[in-house]
Amino acid sequence: MKRIFRSKVFYLLIFLVTFGIVLVFNNDKEPTEQLTEDEFFTTLEDGKVTFLEVEQQNSVYEISGRLVGYEKDQYFIASVPNSEIWQDRMNHAIRGHDIEKIEFTPEDKETSGWVTLLTTTIPFVIIFILFLVLLLFRVVIKR
């Protein structure tokens, strides 16, 4: 048993497992392309958009979608102000073209500050406890 804890392979294995867990939970999709308002509306009016997902956030619409020729894991993202002028322009451009799917997500309420604090600090507390346990094992083994 002492050989296992003294072995560098054991510590390397613990590091790799921890690193793997962090990568799994941090696997956010990055947008393929960031479009400005004008670029978004010109591509929308030209009929190059095949899928749209609109999410309202405060005074801005976060729009993600797929352009013609994009694969399933590729998408663009654009931010458009929440105003009647932009809504009318978007509705007019959408009516003129055949878009496979349009999803609209209403504005979500913000999460509590306590929830944010706990979800950001708990992983560090777990890692700290893991290192303390490893340190205790190392001290106990030396005796």
CA 3 to CA 1: how far, in whole Å? 5
Identify the residue with better confidence: 98 or 76: 76
pLDDT band (50, 70, 90) for residue 122: very high
Q: Which domain holds residue 87?
A: 31-108
Q: The whole model's pTM is what? A: 0.49
Residue 47 covered by a domain: yes
CA 56 to CA 109: how far, in whole Å? 11
Residue 35 covered by a domain: yes
Residue 3 covered by a domain: no
Contact in structure between 124 and 118 (CB atoms under 8 Å): no
Which residue matches tokens 């979608």?
Answer: 65
Domain containing residue 46: CATH number: 3.30.720.210
Identify the residue with better confidence: 69 or 78: 78
User: Does residue 50 have a pLDDT over 70?
Assistant: yes
User: Does residue 120 have a pLDDT over 80?
Assistant: yes
User: Does residue 30 have a pLDDT over 60?
Assistant: no
Identify the residue with better confidence: 121 or 102: 121
For the chain, the domain total comes to 1
Residue 15 covered by a domain: no
Residue 2 covered by a domain: no
Residue 66: CB atoms within 10 Å: 22
CA distances to 27, 30, 57, 89, 112 from 83, rounded to whole Å, are 33, 27, 13, 10, 28
Identify the residue with better confidence: 41 or 127: 127
